[in-house]
A and B are shown apart, each in its own frame.
Chain A
Amino acid sequence: MTDLPRERQPDPALEERVVSTLVAAGLVQRRRAWPIWVAAAAAVVVLAIGVSELRPKHTAVRGNTYVLMLYEDSSYRPAPKGHGAERVAELARWADSLDAAGKFERGGHLVGPGPIGGLFMIRAANDSDAARMAATCPFTKWGGRLEVKRFEE
């Protein structure tokens, strides 16, 4: 066998990118910030004080689910060779920020023919709120087109 190194350590940032991507795609569950008993204890306190006074701030999640479809039309500028991971990481950070506000459901790539390269499912209070959230998605700055539709089961 040829005696060349069989292992190389990549940039540590790659691990964070991979984890963020998997979390955004709903394939990995983010670690709980607090142990479960802390959350349980907090819930008891909230109930004791009165739910109406301490309603979670992100009441927007009580709205609807919206689907953001990412169109890779002719205006879309694909990532330069070797920079695809940076874009995925940027999308993952955007999804993480929505997730922190309880406004993110899931997202991922769509594989197969057609211009839609991926989609996100988000929670928004109403159509205009969904449109505002969609406008913050980094996908548009690469020439991509976003379409927002309310999802009804």
Chain B
Amino acid sequence: MTDDLALVERFLRARGEDEFRTLYRAHTPALYALALRLTGGDQGEAEDLVQESWVRAVRALSSFRARSALRSWLCGLLVNVRRERIRADWRTVDAPDIEPAADTSGPDDALDLERAIGALPEGARDVFVLHDIYGYTHREIAEMLGIVEGTSKSQLTRARTLLRSSLP
């Protein structure tokens, strides 16, 4: 993580393109995977999220301190960009709640799980992805999402219950 801080400091000195690309390449695969999960696999929307997250991150990088890992800071930004978009676009607000978990007849268990995660309600899905896939603690998730730890825990329980009932 100290490497990240060094990269950030090097970038901030000149805000150079090469230094930015180094940061981008180090963290974008994780951001993109997270964005795909939060959007239920919508590649265009996931790319939009990654782009917007980097724009915000670069604006705010000077306030980044090694208090948290750069990756979790970036993931938190991305999750919050996604939430703002959902709030701003009423058409998508309820979609994750009411859409069925698509076609779950395929033989691939991982694919079934991806689909089921994509169909979770927003709050439960964000916490599940961050906790059970990315390994963040409830304290880190609470900080990222601006919620209390108890909410993170209850959303995780809710997500797991829903997943158990939706998977074959």
Using CB atoms and an 8 Å cutoff, list the residues of chain A in contact with chain B: 1-2, 4-11, 14-15, 17-19, 21-23, 25, 27-31, 81-85, 88
Q: Tell whether A4 pairs with B110 under 8 Å between CB atoms, given A15-B28, A30-B17, A82-B42.
A: yes
Q: CB within 8 A of A27: which of B25, B55, B110? A: B55
**B18 is an interface residue with CB less than 8 A from chain A:** yes
Q: Tell whether A15 pairs with B21 under 8 Å between CB atoms, given A1-B133, A9-B29.
A: yes
CB contacts under 8 Å to A, within B50-66, are 50-51, 54-55, 58-59
CA of A35 to CA of B133 in the docked complex: distance in angstroms?
Answer: 44
Question: Which of the segments B30-38, B97-105, B142-150 contacts the partner chain?
Answer: B30-38
Q: Tell whether A83 pairs with B44 under 8 Å between CB atoms, given A8-B36, A15-B21, A28-B20.
A: yes
CA of A17 to CA of B28 in the docked complex: distance in angstroms?
Answer: 13
Sampled A-B contacts (12; CB under 8 Å):
A2-B133, A4-B110, A6-B133, A6-B134, A8-B29, A8-B33, A9-B29, A14-B50, A18-B51, A21-B55, A27-B58, A31-B16
B113 adjacent to A4 (CB under 8 Å): yes
Q: CB within 8 A of B47: which of A14, A29, A30? A: A14
5 A-B pairs with least C-beta separation:
A82-B44, A7-B29, A8-B33, A10-B32, A31-B17
B51 adjacent to A21 (CB under 8 Å): yes
Residues of B within 8 A of A23 (CB): 17
Closest to B135 in A: A1
Using CB atoms and an 8 Å cutoff, list the residues of chain B in contact with chain A: 14-18, 20-21, 24-25, 28-30, 32-33, 36, 42-48, 50-51, 54-55, 58-59, 89, 92, 110, 113-114, 132-135
A22 adjacent to B28 (CB under 8 Å): no
Residues of B within 8 A of A25 (CB): 55
A18 adjacent to B14 (CB under 8 Å): no
Closest Cβ of chain A to B136, distance in Å, is 10
Q: CB within 8 A of A5: which of B25, B28, B33, B135? A: B33
Closest Cβ of chain A to B104, distance in Å, is 16
Closest Cβ of chain B to A134, distance in Å, is 23
B30 adjacent to A7 (CB under 8 Å): yes
Known pairs A19-B17, A21-B51, A28-B15. 13 more at Cβ < 8 A? A4-B114, A4-B133, A10-B43, A10-B46, A14-B32, A14-B51, A17-B47, A22-B54, A31-B18, A81-B45, A82-B42, A83-B44, A85-B48
